[in-house]
Amino acid sequence: MRRLFSFTLAVLLLSPCLHAQQKDEKAVADKVEQLRKALIDPDRATLEKLTAPQLSYGHSTGLLQDQAAFIEALVSGSSDFVTITLSDQTISVVGNTAVVRHKLNGTNNDGGKPGVVKIAIMLVYVKQHNDWKLLARQAVKI
């Protein structure tokens, strides 16, 4: 009887935590999808809203950009995604930090030169003022 009571109490105490984590995972997944769309159809205000000012954006080529350079490359068209498909996505939330991993397949037209993109990505989101912001991204070639 004591074990059953202890188990029931533990379940009741952990349920709000599990629900909050699932809610955060869903919110982060929504931000990832918003970013995917913004990479294809870039808008400065949207990209600024989705990213933290301290953004560190690493490309599979080794190029590293801050928030301003990342946004400028997209809105100027020097970095031009045509299509993006994400797969094998996982999201892990710990406190106010989330780590997202996925594979990105797509096409681009950087500098007017068509290309194919196949990379694995790790994104780090941080919750700032009750909103998830992209803090870091690193891509590697598959």
- Residue 9: pLDDT band with limits 50, 70, 90: very low
DSSP state, residue 61: T
pTM: 0.85
Q: How far apart are CA 134 and CA 56, in angstroms?
A: 9
Q: How far apart are CA 98 and CA 78, in angstroms?
A: 29
Tell whether the model's pLDDT for residue 19 goes beyond 70.
Answer: no
Tell whether the model's pLDDT for residue 100 goes beyond 80.
Answer: yes
Only one residue has tokens 């997202």, namely 100
Q: How far is residue 96 CA from its own chain's centroid?
A: 14
- What is the token pair recorded at 4? 């059953």
Beta bridge partners of 127: 132
Count the Cβ atoms, other than its own, within 10 Å of residue 89: 15
The predicted pLDDT at position 12 comes to 47
Q: How far apart are CA 127 and CA 98, in angstroms?
A: 8
